[in-house]
Structure 1
Amino acid sequence: MTPYADLDLEAMLTDLESDRVERKESFKGKAPDTVREAVCAFANDLAGHGAPGVVFIGARDDGTPVGLNVSDEFLRQLADIKTDGNIAPPPTLLVEKRRLLGHQLAVITVWPCDTPPARCRGRVHVRWGPRRGLASAQDERILNERRRHRDRPFDVQPVPSATIDDLDRLRFEQEYLPSAVAADVLTSNERSLEQRLAATKMILSDVEPIPTVLGLLVVGKSPIDWLSGAYTQFLRVAGVDLADPVQDDAVIDGTVADQIRRLEDKLNAHNVQGVRFGDLVQESREVAYPLDALRQLTRNALMHRTYESTHSPVRVYWFDDRIEIHNPGGPFGSVTPENFGLPGVTDYRNPNLAEALRALGYVQRFGAGISIARRLLGERLRFEVQPGFVAAIVRAAR
């Protein structure tokens, strides 16, 4: 992931025939949408260059710089393209201020995605020569077949012992597909069920309809049959340690969306600190913990946990003085114990599961969950980060 040198960028900037370059004079009007579509197209790399594409902001169509003022705030705005949830899975990109041909330009370098197709707002954008547009059925097939098996994340690895009958077709067609793919695209294409499952990474391919880990986690009839740790254990302990009496317990299984819904029902049911009676007619219930913070932390745990080679569930233990949320799998990729939870520091063990949860509405913005929880909880929230697990510990309000 070495960025281009200035000489390389200057040559690309003025090469009007290149299919790895997009130029924009500014980031106003329709430009934010078209820049995201260009980033999506470069991530898909339909031509198979295996090299990054570049979006120049501050240059005319002929490559002449316009003299744009590139501020730090503007660069942060461009960097949000990676995490604002419009492109999924999140693209690998670098945003820089570079001085080219004597002028400042904002440069977005986009590396090809390992697990195409990438989608921008539910649509697959690709590039043919200097033109950009929506992928055809054949384009999507090429992208599906290009996925690299050895380097693929675990969440899109096939589960050879499972069959397509282990996926819930009704759930896929009525719940997931309309959420993940734009309505006009669904209306216009005539793909088979197998082609649609392959395009959304639920199976390996339409010619090898073997469910992936993602398929089982998102639309599987019984994910726990194939992924033994794919469940959540909930305990409400009447005390401050595990030796105290258990007030409520539940093993919550099903798809990840099922687990989220059922777990949040549990959290909501127990999240009552007291009742105040203002008069004989009305009562006011006070919550012990901000529910949105608990949602962010539990969803993060289910999204970022490891599902590979483990029988461990996500564990949510509710004590009288605190809540502990444990998920198997320590820091991943660029995240370390030292930088864990810092703004802008994020990586994805399960990038395709993150994409699916965003499509289903459980994730609005990539990388924002911990920041939201910290804003709501302040010093009541701390993390214990170990090589094999991460625990979020939330103290009750005094």
Structure 2
Amino acid sequence: MFDTIQEIIDRLKLGEDSFVEFKEVKFSGEKITDPHAESLAGEICAFANTAGGVILVGVDDNGLIQGISREKLSLVENYISNACRNNCRPPVLPLMQTLMLPDATGTNQPIIKIDVAKSVFVHQTSGGRYFQRLGVTKVDLTPQELARLFQQREQSFVFDEQIIRQAAFDDLNRKLLKNFAPESRHLPWEKILENKRIVSRDEQNVLRPSVAGLLAFGDSPEQLLPSAYIEAAAYRGVEMASAAVIDSKKITGPLHQQIDDAVNFVERNMKVASIKTVGRQDFPQYDILAVHEAIVNAAAHRDYSIAGSKIRLFLFDDRLEIYSPGKLPNTITLENMADRQFTRNQLLVSFLSRQTSPHTGRYYIEARGEGVRLIIERSEAISEKQPQYRLLGDELLLTIWAALPPFSKNNEEAH
């Protein structure tokens, strides 16, 4: 919105409206005193809850360029970012751009343009207020308006198909893309990617990745979807304590790589007992195919729309715990999930169903819908304890119990 300097200058002459807000920045030493973070967050949430808009920071209410000193640009940018993340719930991730515009004397001054897109969520401030943009100001949503907005936003989108407006085509790994969707003489490659919904065009006809496209083919999806990674830790003993951590890793990258790295993390840290009789027989704590399936399920079916909630994988001496963000769909219960299929992220699942896992030699996801049953049966076969699923608020916790090694007193080894 307002992509050229001249367009912005023209807008300044017209003043604020439903799509434009001016914000002058005031300081006391190194501290920003105006706008207040909560007030700025209110303007951002109002645009996100309505039809989107632009905030020009460094411009007074009369549309005059006051600018931001170059020495304080980083301070202001961080202030805006913190307001977006900490004072907007869920966080808003607008596009920010520093521009040079002429003040009343004709001297170019730095300003910051905040481009807020219409959101697929309903946002509130950290103070608990829901705003919408009405003319030149933000106003509180009435209970009826708020209920209607929630209904509209919930019905209008499938999250993993939405484009990420902060992302660019270059955020995708071209090698991964071409392995998945080779070029053709009959159709432009970009059109092939559009048809597969890896990318879509925004209102300005710019190609941008979908959520599923970035997760599956982005080099660093966690940079634009901050919760899109796996936090893994291995502990000595059976309790979670910082002093007991023996290995930890923030697992990032395209989703298939996250899955592989998480399985490798478990393989590297689980104990494997062995007995030497005529030959050597190994007894791993976990069935690695069951672990693979559990991590695939968590990565493919978690709720990526929950801000600040990542997959967590914790390995203890007696169990493996995998926390996956998101409640079960209405038709699925803990009791029937082994016999029912559900897919929260249909597009993402379609990508994983055509990518091959190095651990199994098969696609990450196959159409049979036997994943939960495989986890239960294969894990119980070696541990003699059935894995346990539990709902903890907005998370699904899977606990897989470690096998007890059949040690003999005279010929035991562990590694």
**Could you say whether these structures have the same fold, taking a TM-score greater than 0.5 normalized by the shorter chain as the test?**
yes
Residue 354 of structure 2 is matched in structure 1 by 359
Question: Any stretches of 5+ residues in structure 2 without a counterpart?
Answer: 1-152, 356-362, 405-415
User: 1:325: how far off?
Assistant: 0.6
CA distance in structure 1 between the partners assigned to 2:326 and 2:199 by the alignment: 25
Q: 2:174 aligns with which of 169, 186, 191?
A: 169
CA distance in structure 2 between the partners assigned to 1:239 and 1:304 by the alignment: 30
User: 1:387: how far off?
Assistant: 4.3
Structure 1 segment 138-153 matched on structure 2, within 5 A: 151-153=156-158
Residue 118 of structure 1 is matched in structure 2 by none
Q: 1:312 aligns with which of 309, 321, 325?
A: 309
Amino acid of the residue matched to residue 347 of structure 2?
A: N
Amino acid of the residue matched to residue 255 of structure 2?
A: V
Q: 2:331 aligns with which of 304, 329, 334?
A: 334
Residue 272 of structure 2 is matched in structure 1 by 273
Residue 258 of structure 1 is matched in structure 2 by 257
Structure 1 segment 198-217 matched on structure 2, within 5 A: 198-205=194-201, 207-217=205-215
What is the DSSP-based 3-state SS (H/G/I as helix, E as strand, rest coil) of the residue aligned with 1:289?
coil
Residue 344 of structure 2 is matched in structure 1 by 349
What is the DSSP-based 3-state SS (H/G/I as helix, E as strand, rest coil) of the residue aligned with 2:297?
helix
1:396 aligned onto 2:402: yes
Residue 232 of structure 1 is matched in structure 2 by 230
Structure 1 segment 81-100 matched on structure 2, within 5 A: none
Amino acid of the residue matched to residue 305 of structure 2?
A: E
Contact 1:260 1:299 in 2 (8 A): yes
User: 1:394: how far off?
Assistant: 1.1
Residue 371 of structure 2 is matched in structure 1 by 369
Residue 282 of structure 2 is matched in structure 1 by 285
1:157 aligned onto 2:162: yes
Change (3 A) 1:239 1:151: same
Residue 247 of structure 1 is matched in structure 2 by 246
Contact 1:331 1:387 in 2 (8 A): no
Cα deviation 1:334-390 (Å, max 9, x = unaligned): 223453x231x2222111111111111111235211011112123431111244010
CA distance in structure 2 between the partners assigned to 1:149 and 1:384 by the alignment: 26
CA distance in structure 2 between the partners assigned to 1:352 and 1:387 by the alignment: 26
User: 1:253: how far off?
Assistant: 0.4
Amino acid of the residue matched to residue 259 of structure 1?
A: Q
Contact 1:380 1:396 in 2 (8 A): no
What is the DSSP-based 3-state SS (H/G/I as helix, E as strand, rest coil) of the residue aligned with 2:181?
helix
CA distance in structure 2 between the partners assigned to 1:165 and 1:255 by the alignment: 14
Amino acid of the residue matched to residue 241 of structure 1?
A: E
1:297 aligned onto 2:294: yes
Contact 1:381 1:393 in 2 (8 A): yes
Question: Any stretches of 5+ residues in structure 1 without a counterpart?
Answer: 1-147, 179-185
Contact 1:229 1:311 in 2 (8 A): yes
CA distance in structure 2 between the partners assigned to 1:317 and 1:394 by the alignment: 11
CA distance in structure 2 between the partners assigned to 1:151 and 1:349 by the alignment: 15
Q: 1:190 aligns with which of 157, 166, 186?
A: 186
Change (3 A) 1:325 1:221: same
CA distance in structure 1 between the partners assigned to 2:300 and 2:386 by the alignment: 23
Count of residue correspondences: 238
CA distance in structure 1 between the partners assigned to 2:317 and 2:301 by the alignment: 27
CA distance in structure 2 between the partners assigned to 1:198 and 1:334 by the alignment: 32
Amino acid of the residue matched to residue 217 of structure 1?
A: L
What is the DSSP-based 3-state SS (H/G/I as helix, E as strand, rest coil) of the residue aligned with 2:249?
strand
CA distance in structure 2 between the partners assigned to 1:250 and 1:201 by the alignment: 31
Root-mean-square deviation (Å)? 2.3
CA distance in structure 2 between the partners assigned to 1:152 and 1:382 by the alignment: 32
Contact 1:333 1:347 in 2 (8 A): no
CA distance in structure 1 between the partners assigned to 2:244 and 2:159 by the alignment: 38
Contact 2:306 2:325 in 1 (8 A): no
TM-score normalised by length of structure 2: 0.54
Moved more, 241-250 or 189-198: 189-198
Cα deviation 1:290-333 (Å, max 9, x = unaligned): 11111111110111111114222111111001111111111124
User: 1:208: how far off?
Assistant: 4.0
Change (3 A) 1:338 1:149: closer
User: 1:397: how far off?
Assistant: 2.2
CA distance in structure 2 between the partners assigned to 1:333 and 1:172 by the alignment: 34
Cα deviation 1:248-273 (Å, max 9, x = unaligned): 11110001111011111112222333
Amino acid of the residue matched to residue 234 of structure 2?
A: R
Residue 321 of structure 2 is matched in structure 1 by 324
Contact 1:326 1:389 in 2 (8 A): yes
